[in-house]
Amino acid sequence: MFSNIDILTDRQIREQQLRSAIVSSLNAVPKTLPDILLWEDAGHDLFEQIAKSRSYYGAQADREIMKDKIDEICQSLEEDAVLIELGAGSVPHTGMVLDELCQRRMKTQYLAHDLTQSTLDHSLCRLASELRSDRHKSFLKMSGIVGTYEQFFEWLSKTDELRGRRVVVLWLGNCLSNYSDAEFPNMVDALMQSLSWSGAASSTLLLAVNECPGADVMRQAYDSPDGSSVAFIANALRQANRILGTEAFEYEAWTPVSSINSAGTSITWKFQSKQEIQLVIDERPVTCKVGEDIELITINKRGEADVAKLLAHSRAELVDTWRHQSLPWSKCIRERRYSLLLISHQVGV
């Protein structure tokens, strides 16, 4: 049932590329750090602690919507279809869909993608332990791909595994929230184009987004009172030091700071220097003044209307919305709308 994991890039090469990106971003104006540092090594484990908290509604809403709409999801897949999950290590509840498909005696290939091999290994092994009956072994094939989104899209465009088959892609966990309005449709288009080039008979994307009005709700979810959000953010400095091969960042000299825009629709995390600092990288100093910020990530909240507008000129079409209006386990977030959007594209376009 569990076959193999393909690695699209050598870890050493990827870390060399990431090192170059760090150096470049620190010499830019304003200074930034690549947000991919959040997911290196311990990042996934730290994020899972956030996802388990009552104030972080994303993973919980994903699961509730998928549970409610499992019949529609299964109906969108046909015999010998392919279910692809992007960022599979972040969303630990796909097993119920795969189990339901097997109960319906539908042969399915599950193709999981993630940035790191250790995270993907853990996710697939967990699924394999949950889905280990003879029925699962007869109807389910699982495999994985390690790489960035861009590397995975390139792989999809060249593989013969999807030719003539129905494809459904899960992009859950609100993973596109850290992309700007300009980048968002480009990422969806890149995915859809790669599926078109793959020769898939048809494809549908289930994309999780959420519209989160209000700064209080945003802060409870993304700057949690228990400190798990700060630990997740601070880990990026540790990973930057590891990639750079030197203790360029002294943790005590930086304060992780979050700020929310006036509309309550985005939150930005930065590292703020407590004193004047000289970062020495490759024997070249990078000066940071007292109170200067190094931006790490901006998380944007978007509803279905925002997504429809962003996709207006893309090759993707928003065809339906599944909403989660109220999450009973957390009174503070009853007014939020969390949605799974069904997005399709015309084959060959």
Query: Would you state the pLDDT for residue 343?
Result: 54
Give the number of residues written for the chain.
349
Q: Which two tokens stand for residue 15?
A: 């870390």
- Whether domain 56-211+302-345 has CATH 3.90.226.10: no
> For the chain, where do the domains classified as CATH 3.40.50.150 start and end?
56-211+302-345
Query: Would you state the pLDDT for residue 239?
Result: 95
Task: Work out the end-to-end distance of the chain between its first and last CA atoms, rounded to an integer number of angstroms.
Answer: 34
Query: Would you state the pLDDT for residue 273?
Result: 97
Query: Would you state the pLDDT for residue 230?
Result: 94
* CB-based contact 50:223 (threshold 8 Å): no
| DSSP element (H, E) containing 253 | none
Query: Would you state the pLDDT for residue 327?
Result: 37
Average pLDDT, the chain: 84
Q: How far is 180 from 1, CA to CA, in rounded Å?
A: 38
Residues of the chain with pLDDT under 50: 326-340, 344-349
**Three-state secondary-structure class, residue 218:** helix
pLDDT, one tens digit per residue, over 109-164 is 999 999 888 888 888 888 888 888 887 888 999 999 999 999 999 999 999 999 99
Q: Which two tokens stand for residue 11?
A: 């870890």
Q: Mind giving me the DSSP string for 35-58?
A: GGGGGSTTHHHHHHHHHTSTT--H
* CB-based contact 306:326 (threshold 8 Å): no
Q: Per residue in 42-64, is it b (16+ CB within 10 Å) or e — as a string? A: ebbebbbbbbebebbbbbbbbbb
**Backbone angles phi and psi of 121, in degrees to 5:** -55, -50
The crossing angle, in degrees rounded to 10, of helices 183-197 and 149-158 is: 20
